[in-house]
């Protein structure tokens, strides 16, 4: 599944990309340095995805879906847990005993979050939003991912206006760091 289309299609494509990255990291031998490269690509994908959802998807859920505030709050809490795990994983080498356990914990959290979005949230959003709005949100999500941070920042605000104010600046700093270190090119 390629990227593009409405917000649901775009985010579902992200979900499949993350699934593939989990498969790639788990297929490598324990302690293999390539696990770090894949973990970095996984972190980049998850952070960009989360920032875009929090900036564009969840506000639409709050506005258009019955009980949308509760649903969006739960999804943002899921993101916070995932981001804390990503931050732990960032400081852990593939040879470290914690690396595999963190990847497993991360995969469990992400899998549960994805299942909830795809089985519950996305169908409700599709029922309650006009197609044109979903298409526009897809464009906004793609745009947000281009400027989003690429590293976990668990202490950063995850609600407006702080999230929208700080994310582009953090994203720029992260991309400069990535460029200088070669992170995420694997």
Q: How far is CA 157 from CA 88, 96, 144, 161, in A?
A: 19, 30, 16, 8
**Segment 127-174, tens digit of pLDDT:** 999 999 999 999 999 999 988 887 665 555 555 544 444 455 454 445
The per-residue pLDDT for 2 is 59
> What's the pLDDT band for 3 if we cut at 50, 70, 90?
confident
Average pLDDT, the chain: 85
Cα–Cα dist 144/131, whole Å: 20
Least confident of 2-6, 101-105, 160-164: 160-164
Pick one of 3.40.1350, 1.20.120, 2.60.290, 1.20.1440 as the CATH number of 7-181: 1.20.120
pLDDT > 60? residue 65 = yes
The per-residue pLDDT for 118 is 97
Quote the pTM value: 0.82
Cα–Cα dist 110/104, whole Å: 10
Least confident of 35-44, 82-91, 132-141, 165-174: 165-174
The per-residue pLDDT for 157 is 52
Cα–Cα dist 93/95, whole Å: 5
For the chain, give every domain's residue range.
7-181
């Amino acid at each position: 599944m390629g990227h593009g289309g409405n917000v649901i299609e775009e985010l579902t494509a992200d979900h499949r990309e993350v699934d593939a990255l989990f498969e790639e990291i788990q297929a490598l031998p324990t302690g293999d340095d390539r696990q770090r490269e894949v973990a970095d690509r996984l972190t980049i994908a998850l952070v960009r995805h989360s920032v875009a959802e929090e900036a564009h998807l969840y506000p639409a859920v709050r506005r258009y879906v019955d009980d949308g505030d509760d649903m969006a709050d739960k999804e943002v809490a899921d993101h916070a847990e995932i981001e804390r795990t990503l931050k732990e994983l960032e400081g852990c080498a593939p040879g470290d005993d914690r690396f595999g356990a963190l990847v497993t914990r991360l995969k469990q959290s992400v899998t549960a979050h994805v299942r909830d979005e795809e089985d519950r949230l996305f169908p409700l959003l599709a029922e309650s939003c006009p197609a044109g709005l979903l298409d526009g949100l897809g464009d906004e999500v793609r745009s947000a991912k281009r400027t989003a941070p690429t590293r976990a920042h668990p202490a950063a605000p995850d609600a407006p206006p702080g999230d929208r104010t700080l994310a582009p600046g953090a994203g720029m700093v992260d991309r400069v760091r990535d460029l200088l270190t070669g992170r995420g090119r694997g």
